[in-house]
Structures are given as structure tokens and as C-alpha cells.
Structure 1
Amino acid sequence: MEFVCPRCQSSTADEFYGPCAACRSALVAKFATEGRVVELAEYEPKMNVTPNAVALKDD
């Protein structure tokens, strides 16, 4: 499919509509970031949460 690149207005041919290959490369280079590890606190239920009565039932 041939269309005009919405970013640089150059004529391009690609399978899907969007930025041309040169613009995609420039966008990837501009917005590339490294992943990071996010530490989360361990889940602790609220005090108003009670255990299931059936699970606590003694035989």
C-alpha cells in the first residue's frame, strides 16, 4: 500500500499505515529507554478482611 508518511510527508510503501521506516527508526532512537526493576511491598490484606468461615470450620 502506498501512502504519504504522516510524520515527514514523504511517499512510502508499507503493509500498514504509519510512519515510514526512517521515521520509525528515529522515533525508536529518540524514545528508547532501559527497563527498571520496581520493588513493591508485599501484599497485606486490610484489617476488615476476615478469613472464610468455611475454610476455618473444624470437623
Structure 2
Amino acid sequence: MEFSCPRCQAPTDGEFYAPCTTCRSDLATKFSGLGRDVEVAEYEPKMNVTPNAVALKDD
């Protein structure tokens, strides 16, 4: 399929409508970032359910 690149308007062809190869490589170098470690709090489930009578039954 032939179309104009949506970024630079240069004529290009491809299977899908997307930026041309040059624009894709420019975007990849511009927006390639390094991963970072994010501190996340320990998961604590909510205790919104009360124990049932069978669990509290004394023998």
C-alpha cells in the first residue's frame, strides 16, 4: 500500500499506515528511555470481611 508518511509527508509504502523507516528510527532514538526502579509500597489486603461464627467457635 502506498501512502504519505504521517510525520514528514514523504511518499512511502508499507503493510500498515505508519511513519516511514527514517521517521521510525528518529522516534526510536528520541524516545528510547532507560528503565528505572520504582519503589512500591507493600500490598496489604483490606480487612472488610468479618470472620464467620464457625471460625470463632470455641471447642
Q: Does 1:44 align with 2:21?
A: no
Q: CA RMSD in A?
A: 2.5
Q: Which runs of 5+ in 2 are unaligned?
A: none
> Residue 28 of structure 1 aligns to a residue in which SS?
helix
- How many aligned positions are there? 58
Which is higher, the Rg of structure 1 or of structure 2?
2
Give the alignment's TM-score, normalised by structure 1: 0.75
TM-score by length of 2: 0.75
Partner of 1:13: 13
Following TM superposition, by how much is the alpha carbon of 1:15 offset from its aligned partner in structure 2, in angstroms? 0.6
Ranges in structure 1 where 5+ consecutive residues have no aligned partner:
none
